[in-house]
Amino acid sequence: MAKLLQVKLPPEMDAMFADIKAERAKKFEPLSNTSIVIDAIKEMHSRIQEQQ
């Protein structure tokens, strides 16, 4: 049985979501919200690591 998980993300990630969705569409990768959010969180994490 699948469980629903709702997450509130910062609004500054909206542009990142649009970019990721466009890149995934070019590569014919899945465009599900889950896959886009996972990629966005990975990207945000790598940006934070670079700043440290």
Rounded CA separation 11/9 (Å): 6
Per-residue model confidence (pLDDT) at position 36? 87
Residue 19 in 3-state DSSP?
A: helix
Per-residue model confidence (pLDDT) at position 49? 92
12: nearest Cα among 52, 44, 42: 44
Per-residue model confidence (pLDDT) at position 13? 82
| More confident position, 7 or 36 | 36
Instruction: Provide the whole-model pTM.
Output: 0.68
Residue 1 pLDDT exceeds 70: no
Q: Are 36 and 17 in contact (CB under 8 A)?
A: yes
- Per-residue pLDDT tens digits for 8-50: 888 888 888 899 999 999 999 888 888 888 888 898 899 889 9
Burial class (CB in 10 A: 0-12, 13-18, 19+), 15: exposed
